[in-house]
Structure 1
């Protein structure tokens, strides 16, 4: 057992049950650690007072263990000079290096590490103290049983072995997996690779968001099962292995991926098959990877995510996204941010479209019913409800600031408690269009009624001139737009939920109202926009009519929510009856 924290190469080394590692056991222990340290491409460095690993974290853990046991990197390098390597591959699940031994002139040493079950199959002997003994079937079973016990404790396990090669029998041009035969087994190493503190919460959040996390690993099935249960990925104990995926037909695999969330002893080819099987069910698949061989699966997935720290250049090139911190929680945070941004785009569109439709309908209804509301002006023809300059002012100025405020609206607290949008769903849904036209109609009718009440001879008798009536209509539609901002934050939730959560939105509304007041009261702006000063009573009337947009939309949302609850209750009752 190794004490200490992080990658710092200091810590106590003890045996199981306590006590120092000594006697013949110490010799075996050191030999196994030396082999793990040499068959290794990671680099341990101290930067700014912190120890960090450049390369694979698992290999880094092996180097740290060797340093804690007393090995010095320079001493090992001087004794065991590396001259060749057989790189790790997920198919072989092994990695080997070949070294000169400074103490043995005519012999080279090959060190191999990898999956214990695969490694044992290539071993014919084991190291016991200072001698090598035949590896019996009984001993193989004992070692595999120990491996299972370590895996059940959630440890990532590796086996290490070595082989002596006569120097005159070695050729650098023929360095391949044949080196990994007739090996001498040195020992098992178990490493705790604890999930990050935020990982379990990220998994839970992704599930609430309708995202199904899968764990695909090259580790032992039992290790995968334990870690998956710890993270909350799966607690049913179901694990599919690479061997099962290899044998499964396309139809059988498509059925397997429906309810299996944990895959162990998997290689990149299996990853590619899993992606394809999930996509056949219509799933949108995001796949993470870091190795060269992961590139096909990353390319095939709808969203390929490469590791920014541990990932190879090939995997990064094949991916759509590079994860800078190699943290699953960052993916979930990105989903949350993406949903919030998409929601704000919809809010922005909902607001501007409903306001524009309201303006168009107000102009249309005003002209259509000009005689009825008193807009007809005898020989001068029909006066418009709003002037062109006033419409431009509304669209470019008073609507602009609140719309920008909607663009930075905080995320809905329930943004990660709803399922993903259907693949073919449009940005503006039918429900949104209904709300947009509903609000636009209210704005238009309210504006025309105020216009009518401001003019003599209409349905509602007024006493003002056309300039006064247009100013009243102009201000009414501005107030409608301001109240409509709150409607636009959601198609179903009340506008009063999180009413004061966006200070930028309130700032935009206040700015727009201040500018509207300037247009009405500042002389040179009055001339430019053909407005006339309004009384306090006029402001109250226009604000009251403008607020009708909010109250009527609130009523419509309430009716819709009650309808949804009733429908949900009916479905639940029907399910219970069955």
Structure 2
């Protein structure tokens, strides 16, 4: 029999490709009771705490002394020593004012750099404390909440809606569980999870039976057995890649080194030439004369050293850091500010960086036409405009159909929208929240809904049915209850027998059904996620319990197209960068169609440009990759390793690359 450690390592590697039961056996974990406390402590000792490793913080004294390693500063220190020697040789009369002035300049320069870096480190530490998390596990058969750093391989992790995941794990049971994985994969939409074995070698975004550190449960609940902690998690692997990348000097540091080296050589040459000339021309032979000549040559050489240059550079960089700080950006090293200014390429993640990471209803399609909603994100401000002309909607039938569609979307919904300190935020699934926001834009807020409707039942969403329903009483129809359903349009249409056209309810023919499905494909080509809305009314006395039997003989009312839209300021930023000669490249883990659509909207690529996928990158050697990064500016379904290869190829091509985003 293999050792437990080896079995656990094997489970970590292959967890998504084997059954949940086999993973539990390999990890020697009991799904009903979890690990024993003693066993969990033993594994913590073996595998270490569940936290990302990082370089130990540099002691303050070392950080202060590091300010004196700049070549120009070293040159000034050498000039100080020479000035003091000259002062001593001249009899130490008075004070060595020049040496004292240089020392003062050097110390002021060091203090500015030290305190700026100290503030940056304090800000980073404060952020780390803010992100400290806890996890709910089964141990010794008891439900316990523990610090996330105490999670061990084999722990049974209990997942509820809203939980932030702190380790990688194999799901062992789920109930309508959906995870937001944008921070890891770039996928803007929540991923529906299951426990089915995945046979093929799947990418992170396709491992639907796994949960990952750094992701969030947006809906449902589940249980998972922890398969990886700390640096062994997918997030840990990203951290390892970053740590393994050697730290290189900034362009400014290299230029300063070059200037310092040339100045040093120049100072020595000046001193030698002056001393040699005086000694040869004046034929100085006495010891006193030689000393005086040496002092004169050295003094002239020291005078050539630009004492104020290091301080000027430090002050200018510090001002840049302060400007960045006012934009909520932490700069840990002063010289990094100049590197940003030298960037020739910006590689950006999509979700949450170029986009808002706030799902938004962009379009509504009803039997009478298509309407777009303006506004982005969770702020409930926007207007209805005709899709083709972007002019205001005046057709009362179309307006009523849009209103009916969004009313259904808001009622078949569990998300909550609330304002906190002037900022709109959501609780629940982002896609459902988009429907709530859209309804508010046309005046269907919670007060209006609660005055008319009251929920009395729900048929929850499931990945098998791909829809959910709520049952509502309606003050406008006291003898019936309304079953309101939303879900994947193809699934919903299969349960519909009629559609609502204006105030009429007409049979849903096969031809009409095909037209609607063609519209779904069209919206998909625009990178829009589609949801259909339908309803039915039943006599109140016939309603007994909420179950799937109610989700038949539905009346289709319309569908919505949802997207994580570009930030309004992102397009202007892309244009500004391009006008400055900086190339913008999108690198995301999201779907190629979505990535291409957003990139085209932002002006990164021309409309119709296809994305290069991670699978294609896998097949490329270094030469092919170099040719690819020169020609293509959009990459999708890529892993952190792919991102690193792209950046390395760009740097090998002579670019200064800035990387932004969460991936």
For Structure 1 versus Structure 2, the TM-score category normalised by the shorter chain is 0.3 to 0.5
Higher helix content, 1 or 2: 1
TM-score for the superposition, normalised by structure 2 = 0.32
Higher strand content, 1 or 2: 2
Q: If you compute each CA radius of gyration, which structure gives the higher value, 1 or 2?
A: 1
TM-score for the superposition, normalised by structure 1 = 0.37
Higher relative contact order (CA 8 A, sep 6+): 2
